[in-house]
Amino acid sequence: MRYVVDHIPRTTPKNRRPRLPMTAETITIHNTGNPTSTARNERAWLTNPSNDRTASFHIVVDEKEAIECIPLNETAWHAGDGNGDGNRKSIGIEICESGDYERAVENAATLVADMLIERGWGVDRLRRHWDWSGKVCPRLMHNGGSWSGWIEFKKRVEFKVMNRRFVDVPKGHWAEASINKAAASGVMSGVTDKEFGLGQPVTREQLAVILDRIGALDK
């Protein structure tokens, strides 16, 4: 998945980018509500002269890419709660409904997991549009009121967080998978819950403990 930064101009009509500073406390998930629109289409709509709505969002994700449309430290009008904490303290992420929707959801889960890890947050920081305004959104996770799709999405994000939890291990690092496996199995922990200690040397006593944990000393 590509991550593209393509911020709408500060002069965009209808105050869609109000330039209000924001310190995010949560991440809010939406569906676009348009079964034929891609992330590129949604970004273009924000600056389309025929768009007479104030609504905006920070990031839109489809099966191929994620596009950041408004800086994550600025307010976007996505939550429907006026100057409440949804608009003023939450990052709004739209998931496209077009094309391969399952791939779009997977991309969104990966993106959200990365954002949680970077901020040291857990899935308790995730919100639905519904939570702020009562709108049935993300609508494709509503499932007749059971919200089973939302529950599954949070589980997917949590799994990704737990399997890539160290903020000092870059995504794609050559040892990332092994580091996560070592931590998950209890063979090697991080120097803290959030930092692995990438590049730090292993002492002789630490090596002895590691060898003991993998059963190499039981022969």
**Domain identity same for 105 and 14:** yes
173 phi, psi to nearest 5 deg: -55, 145
Q: Is residue 168 part of a domain?
A: no
* ∠ Cα 132 136 141 (to 5°): 110
**Domain identity same for 122 and 187:** no
**Domain identity same for 82 and 158:** yes
> In terms of residue numbers, what domain contains 197?
176-213
**Domain identity same for 127 and 103:** yes
**Domain identity same for 70 and 12:** yes
Q: Is residue 170 part of a domain?
A: no
Q: Is residue 12 part of a domain?
A: yes
**Domain identity same for 126 and 60:** yes
Count: domains in the chain:
2
- pLDDT tens-digit map of 149-197: 999 999 999 988 877 778 888 878 899 878 877 876 778 888 887 789 9
Q: Is residue 169 part of a domain?
A: no
- pLDDT tens-digit map of 33-89: 999 999 999 999 999 999 999 999 999 999 999 999 999 999 999 999 999 999 999
Helix (H, G, I), strand (E, B) or coil at 68: strand
**Domain identity same for 190 and 100:** no
* CA–CA distances in Å: residue 52 to residues 16, 34, 47, 129, 208: 10, 17, 10, 21, 66
